[in-house]
Structure 1
Amino acid sequence: MTRSNRGDKIDPREVQIVHTISRTTRACYLMGCVPGSDENYDHRKEWVDELIQRFAAQFAIDVLSFSVLSTHHHQLLRSRPDIVQTWDDTEVARRWLMICPKRKDKAGNALPPSEPELDTIRNCPIRVEELRLRLSDISWWMRLLNQRIAQRANREDDAGGRFFEDRFKGIPVIDEESVLACAVYVDLNWIRACMAETLELSEHTSAQRRIAAVDSEQQVTEPDDSAAESGNDASTRCHQSLPDSFLAPVDLCEANNPPGPQPSDSGARCSDKGFLSMSRLEYLELLDWSARQIRDGKRGRTPDDLPPILIRLGLSPTVWLKLIADFDDLFTTMAGLPEHIDQQRGKQTGRPFHVRKQTRELFAQAA
C-alpha cells in the first residue's frame, strides 16, 4: 500500500501529538552490538539521546516519551505552535541559531549567537516567519536529528550512503487512550526487545529518566537557614538538574494549572504542560504493571489489580495489552479509537483515513 502524504496528516500550525519511528537502513545494527560480530555501536544511542535533549531545549516541541534501540528509535512528540507565538523575533532567531549554529566551541557545542548573527534573521520578516514555522515542525526536528546522526556515523566509519531509511514514519495520535498506549508502548520497547528486564535498566528511554528523577527528588534535602539561595531558587535549580527535566511533565493538571501554552522557564524544555490525566507515579506504576504482564507471558489473564486508569478509560486488560504490544501494527496512518479516526479527514485531500480490520475487531471486543 502506498504510504500516505505526511502533509495530509501533520501540520506544524496545529498542536498535534505524533509518534515517530526511524529505522536504520536494511534494519542493520548501526546503533548497537552487531550479532555474531565484534562490532559494537552502542555509543550511538547516546548521540540520539543527547540530540533529543538539545532539541527539546530549543524547538517548540514537547518530548512525551522516547526510546533508542539498536536498529531504530521511537519518539512521541507534541508540536507547540502556540508556544512559538509567545516568542519575539529575537527569540526565534536565537533558538534557530542554537539549533543550526554559525559558530561552535571545541567540543562541537553551539555558541550563543552574536548580535550580527541575530540580525541576519530578525531583520528579514519572511525568514523569521519561515523559521517560526520550522520550530514547531516535527518533520524538521526529525530531519535535522537523523541527518546529524547519519553524518556523524558516516564520518566515524569513513563511509557514505544512507544511514536511516528514506523517511521517518509519523503517526498522529488523536485521543487520550491512544496517547497513553503509545507512551507506554514506546517506554517498554527495551523490555519487549529483551534488551532489559526492568524499567530501571531500560537505557536511553524516557521511562528510565522519569524513574531516575523520582529517585533524585527523594534524595533532595531541604536547604538550611544558612543557605545563600532561597527555597524557590533551590527548587528551580533542582528541577533543572533532574534526569527528566527535558521531558514534558506527565500530569496535565487541568484543574490546577492555568489554561494556555504554559511556556517553561527551565531552559530544558519548551513548556510545562503535561499530557495525561494522571501523575508521574501513577504512570510509572502502570508501566511497571504492563511490563510484568508482557514479560511473564500473561496477556490472556485478567489480573485482580487492574490499574484504575484502565477502568476509567474503559480498556479491558486484553485490549490494553494488545495495544501496547502491537501498537505499530494496529495503527499505520493515525492512532486513536476507530470511531475517532473515522471523524478525521486529510488536511490536503479531505479523504478519510484507513483503519485496519484487526484494529476495529480489537476495539469491538471491548464494546
Structure 2
Amino acid sequence: MPQSRRSQISLADTPYYHCVSRCVRQCYLCGVDQLSGKSFEHRRGWVERRLLELASVYSIDICAYAVMSNHVHVVLHVDIKSANSWSLEQVLTQWHRIHKGTLLTQRYLKGERLSGAEIKAVTDTAEVYRRRLYDISWFMRNLNEFIARAANTEDECTGRFWEGRFKSQALLNESALLSCMAYVDLNPVRANIATTPENSRYTSIYSRLQALKGNSKISALLPFSGERNQRNIKEIPIRLTDYLELVDTTGRIIRDDKPGYIHSNCAPILSRLGISQVHWQALTSHFEKLFSYAAGCEITMRGFKQNTNRQRARGMKNAKLLSCAC
C-alpha cells in the first residue's frame, strides 16, 4: 500500500530528498520514441528550465538533477529557515511569480488600501503560501503539471502524462546525499547515452561544468563547499573537485544491470577538463579577485571581449585556469 507523503518527508530528520517522476504513457517525455521514430529531445530543455525557475521561486535548492527519456531525477534541499525569514511582501511576490494568488493578495501588492479584515485575510493567505513554498509536493506539482500541459498540447491529446505520484527518498546523512547525487548525475552514462559526465547534457554536473567555463549561470544550484566565499551560506558538504572525482570513479565501475560506464582508457576527469588541484584551489578560493566582469577560458573570454567591444579583458591570465577542454 502506498505510504502518505507525510510519512515519507520529515524535515526534522533531513532537508535532503531524492524525487523521481516517471511517464505513464508509451510516448516518451524526451529523446526518440522507438515506436514512432519521433524525437522529443527538445522537451529536456523544458524540464531543465522549469526546474531552475522553480528553484528561484521556492525556498528549495537543487543539489542534482538528470532529465532522462521517460523520467526525471532531482535531489532537493528544503530551506525552511529562509522561507520563515521572508516578509509578507516577499512571500506574496514569490508566490505570484508562478500563481495568480487571490484578488486581495493582488490588491495588497499593488499598494491599494485594505481594511483591517482584508489585511488579516491577506496575512493568513500568505502563511499558507509560505508553507507551500518549502513543500516538496507543491514543488513537484508545479514541475509536473507544467510539463504535462505542454506535452499534451504538443501531442494534441489529453489525459495523464505522469504516474500518479512521484517517488520520494529521504537522504539522512552525507554519504546518502553524495551517493544519490552521483547516481543521478551518472544516469546518462549508465544508460549508455553519454560517454562521460561532462558530456551528459541536461544533468546538474554538466550545468556546473558549463558554468565553470563561463558558458552559463547556475545560481539555482546549491553550491559545493568553498565555491562561494560567503559566511553562513548553504552548501553541499564536499569540494567540487572531490565530487567530480567521486562521480568519475563511480562511473568506471561496470554494472551487470546497466549497459554504460566510463571506459578505463579515459583520463581522470580533472585531467580531461584541464584543471589541476592547485589551479582549482585558487579558483574556488579567490574567484571574485581573479576575474572582473566575466570569467571563462581564453576562447570564451576573447569572444566576450569582442562581442562587448571592450579593449581589454581583465583576468585573461587567470582564464588559462579555466580550460575549454571537454
Both proteins in one fold, TM over 0.5: yes
Shift of 1:56: 1.0
Shift of 1:9: 2.3
Q: Distance in 1 between matches of 2:85 and 2:113?
A: 18
Match of 1:292 in 2: 252
Q: Distance in 1 between matches of 2:187 and 2:141?
A: 23
Match of 1:243 in 2: 217
**TM-score relative to the length of structure 1:** 0.62
Stretches of structure 2 that go unaligned for 5 or more consecutive residues are: 102-107, 255-260, 269-326
The residue type paired with residue 143 of structure 2 is L
Match of 2:76 in 1: 77
Q: Provide the secondary structure at the position in 2 that maps to 1:210.
A: helix
Shift of 1:8: 1.1
Q: Distance in 1 between matches of 2:113 and 2:100?
A: 11
- Per-residue deviation, residues 75-99 of structure 1 (Å, max 9, x unmatched): 0001111011121000000000002
Match of 1:44 in 2: 43
- Per-residue deviation, residues 256-304 of structure 1 (Å, max 9, x unmatched): 8644xx4xxxxxxxxxx1122x211221122122222341588xxxxxx
Alignment RMSD (CA, Å): 3.1
Q: Provide the secondary structure at the position in 2 that maps to 1:30.
A: coil
Q: Are residue 115 (structure 1) and residue 97 (structure 2) matched?
A: no
Shift of 1:242: 4.1
- Per-residue deviation, residues 95-117 of structure 1 (Å, max 9, x unmatched): 00002247xxxxxxxxxx95169
The residue type paired with residue 48 of structure 1 is V
Match of 1:176 in 2: 174
Match of 2:195 in 1: 197
Match of 1:59 in 2: 58
Q: Distance in 1 between matches of 2:60 and 2:39?
A: 32
Q: Provide the secondary structure at the position in 2 that maps to 1:99.
A: coil
> Closer, same or farther in 2 for the Cα pair 1:122/1:285, shift >3 Å?
farther
Match of 1:155 in 2: 153
Match of 2:241 in 1: 281
Shift of 1:26: 4.4
The residue type paired with residue 143 of structure 1 is R
**TM-score relative to the length of structure 2:** 0.70
Q: Is the 8 A contact 1:63 1:78 kept in 2?
A: yes
Aligned residues: 253
> Closer, same or farther in 2 for the Cα pair 1:126/1:212, shift >3 Å?
same
The residue type paired with residue 172 of structure 1 is A
> Closer, same or farther in 2 for the Cα pair 1:118/1:22, shift >3 Å?
farther
> Closer, same or farther in 2 for the Cα pair 1:12/1:94, shift >3 Å?
farther
* Percent of residue pairs bearing the same amino acid type: 34
Q: Is the 8 A contact 2:25 2:161 kept in 1?
A: no
Q: Distance in 1 between matches of 2:125 and 2:18?
A: 29
Question: Structure 2 matches for 1:127-166, cutoff 5 A?
Answer: 127-166=125-164
Match of 1:99 in 2: 98
The residue type paired with residue 251 of structure 1 is S
Match of 1:5 in 2: 4
